[in-house]
Amino acid sequence: MITAEMVKELRNLTGAGMMDCKKALQETEGDKEKAMRLLREKGHSKAAKRAGREVAQGIIDSYIHLGGKVGVLVEVNCETDFVAKTDDFKTFVRDICLQVAATNPAYLSREDVPEHILEEEKEFLRKQAMNEGKPENIIEKIVSGRINKYFEENCLLEQPFVKDQEQTISALLNDTIARIGENILIRRFSRFEVGELSQ
């Protein structure tokens, strides 16, 4: 059964229309990853249509918080210098700075998590599930669910937006791409906190 929550989540991740998301989930029997691929293949995702375009312009922005205790540097790229100077683009970059300051993500996306870190986390989650007395036959399913929570906490693009918890950073990015009409790429970020060593 395809729920409204599933459709909303897919829309947040892809920026595609609600009906397109619902159809994709129906065609893939509720499999989110397959539905995302299907939307990309069909070209419904507005962001996907612009993803191949070169992003050589953009800005580097900074944000200092708590009276100089936390600082963030972020580079976000776009296609043209004109867009880099717009208020819409600058607001997006500033929002990314605030997000990084508030949530301290370790990675940009789930693809950036090193394999050995991921395996260590999965092993920890397996042991945790066993210690909780979970049945052997559902442990992998539990680990899969909890690893998604790990991505949500540690990967910038998967985090709920601090200004709107109903929206992920990925959805915010896709909405901005759709609105501005250019490909946008969060290139890199660094967060500094007084007294903490950088990773």
pLDDT in tens, the chain (199 residues): 889 888 888 877 776 777 888 888 999 999 888 888 787 666 545 555 555 567 779 999 999 987 889 999 999 999 999 999 999 999 999 999 999 999 999 999 999 999 999 999 999 999 998 888 888 888 888 998 899 999 999 999 999 999 999 999 999 998 898 888 888 999 999 999 998 765 4
Supply angle C-alpha 52, 54, 55, rounded to 5: 120
4-44 has which fold? Helicase, Ruva Protein; domain 3 (1.10.8)
Query: Which CATH code of 3.40.50.300, 3.30.479.20, 3.40.50.2300, 3.30.70.2740 fits the domain covering 57-108+155-193?
Result: 3.30.479.20
Q: Are the CB atoms for 39 and 48 separated by under 8 Å?
A: yes
Supply angle C-alpha 151, 156, 159, rounded to 5: 65
Look up residue 163 and give its two tokens: 């200004």
In terms of Cα–Cα distance, which of 95, 103, 102, 198 is closest to 152? Answer: 103
What's residue 44's pLDDT? 47
Q: How many CB atoms lie within 10 A of CB 147?
A: 16
Alpha helices in 104-165 (DSSP H): 115-131, 139-154
Query: Which CATH code of 1.10.286.20, 3.40.1350.10, 1.10.3720.10, 2.130.10.10 fits the domain covering 114-154?
Result: 1.10.286.20
What b/e sequence results for 82-119 when a residue is b if at least 16 CB atoms lie within 10 Å of its CB, and e otherwise?
A: ebbeeeebeebbbbbbbbbbbbbbebbebeebeeeeee
Tokens 């990309």: give the residue. 40
Domain boundaries, the chain: 4-44, 57-108+155-193, 114-154
